[in-house]
Amino acid sequence: MQSFRYRTSTLLGPWRHTAEEASKDAIRAKQACHNELGEGWHWVVPGSIEERQELPDIHSRNHNFDFAPLDSNYTPRERRRA
């Protein structure tokens, strides 16, 4: 899944599901504005829309911690037997 946000030298937008949502954030923050004809938009200050590729949660290491007790003889195998 992809995420998008705007970035300027002074502001950074939140991650959004679409580039269009990210550009709307930039316009609301007055970092960009709609073109005069109402078609499209342009930056008021130098900026860009960043894109990141998110990995599925199954590949995330966020919940894969292995905390060891202070015992120096501890091994992860001992923890699994307990």
In terms of pLDDT, which residue wins out, 50 or 55?
50
Which amino acid is it at 20? E
- pLDDT of 58 over the 70 cut: no
CA distances from residue 64 to 1, 54, 61, 70, 78 in whole angstroms, order as listed: 21, 17, 5, 19, 17
- pLDDT of 63 over the 90 cut: no
Q: Tally the residues of the chain.
A: 82
In terms of pLDDT, which residue wins out, 64 or 32?
32
With bands split at pLDDT 50, 70 and 90, how would you rate the model's confidence at 1?
Answer: confident
In a domain? residue 40? yes
Strand partners, 32: 43
3-class SS of residue 12? strand
In a domain? residue 69? no
CA distance 52 to 69: 36
pTM: 0.63
In a domain? residue 32? yes
Show the tokens assigned to 32: 């960009």
With bands split at pLDDT 50, 70 and 90, how would you rate the model's confidence at 60?
Answer: very low
In a domain? residue 82? no
Say how many domains are in the chain. Answer: 1
What does the pLDDT read at residue 21? 97
Q: Which domain holds residue 34?
A: 2-55
Q: What ranges make up the beta strands (E) of 1-82? A: 2-8, 32-34, 41-43, 47-53
